[in-house]
Amino acid sequence: MFTRTTGFLIIPAWLAAMSWLVVHDVWPTLAALPAPPLAVTEWLKTDGLRSRYLILDEFGPIGTVWSEYFIDEDAVRREDLIWVDRLAAVEKMAAQFTPLRLNVSSTYTGEGELDELTIRAENRVAEMRLHGERFHADFSFVFESGPVERAFKVPLTEGRMISGALHPFGAMTNLRVGQRFRMQVVNPLASLTGFGSRFMPMVVEVTGEERITTPDGDWNCLIVESQRARAWIDANGAVIIQEIDLPILGKLRIVRQGSFDDEGRIRTRGTFLRRP
């Protein structure tokens, strides 16, 4: 039986629950600012121009990322070539989905804002292309796969920073502890396999500092994290390690390597995937 006394007890409990919701879910999203722009530092012009990453799942290496920056006075272009040998999470269908090659091209304005993004994904049986351009209030995308073509928009309030799921964080040269910003991660594997969401919105925060040990030495890093991703970024802006938790595939770890391996990149770019 509902009484006035019961009502007096429920209202404070409801207010407390709503306060918890605002603090833990709503406020972090409202407080998030636009992603920090890409700053062209001396490091990015020299040592940061080319890097290679190893992609690992819980069983070991599954692929490689080659990342390059091309810089001129008016724009910066980032080119990522990604090769995936296998996907243990979809092992029974691996013959269809792997090997997988992705080309991700990101163009930034002279002010360091993402201006265009193109993702091409290809395996033995299918290919897709996603192209987006920044306008005044949104990113406008066109998705193409075979006869399918769709157009849609992502508001800039949700997507000033947009990247691919297998290399979500590129050089980040403007970070400080306490920053919180929104980004969108595109999962092209979802388009090819039908598993998971194609876009994953995230609120990312620079939560602190940590010294990590890698085969190439010890690094003092800022920690950048969200519910789905985490990265360790050194003082220059180089991403040393990043992790992302993807639907179906689980947690992937992407680790910076000491050498670029230009021969491997050329071989991967020229590999013919499509069946006759």
Average pLDDT per block of 10 residues along the chain, 276 residues long: 44 38 36 78 94 94 96 94 82 68 95 94 88 92 90 84 92 91 86 74 94 88 95 95 88 94 92 67
Of 105, 95, 143, 89, the C-alpha closest to 273 is 95
Classified as helix, coil or strand, 14 is helix
Residue 234: predicted pLDDT: 95
- Per the CB < 8 A criterion, the answer to whether 94 and 87 are in contact is yes
Of 187, 255, 193, 185, the C-alpha closest to 227 is 185
Residue 240: predicted pLDDT: 96
Residue 92: predicted pLDDT: 55
Of 271, 102, 64, 105, the C-alpha closest to 190 is 102
Residue 95: predicted pLDDT: 57
Q: Which two tokens stand for residue 159?
A: 């997507």
Is the Cα dihedral 6, 7, 12, 15 positive or negative?
A: positive
Residue type, 85: D
pTM confidence score: 0.84
CA geometry: angle 34, 116, 77, nearest 5 deg: 95
Scored b (16 or more CB within 10 A) or e, 26-39 reads eeeeeebeebbbbe
For the chain, strand residue ranges (E) read 50-57, 60-71, 75-84, 100-109, 114-122, 127-134, 138-145, 148-155, 162-164, 180-186, 199-214, 217-225, 229-234, 239-246, 250-256
Residue 44: predicted pLDDT: 94
140/132 Cα distance (integer angstroms):
5
DSSP 8-class letter at 135: -
Residue 89: predicted pLDDT: 62
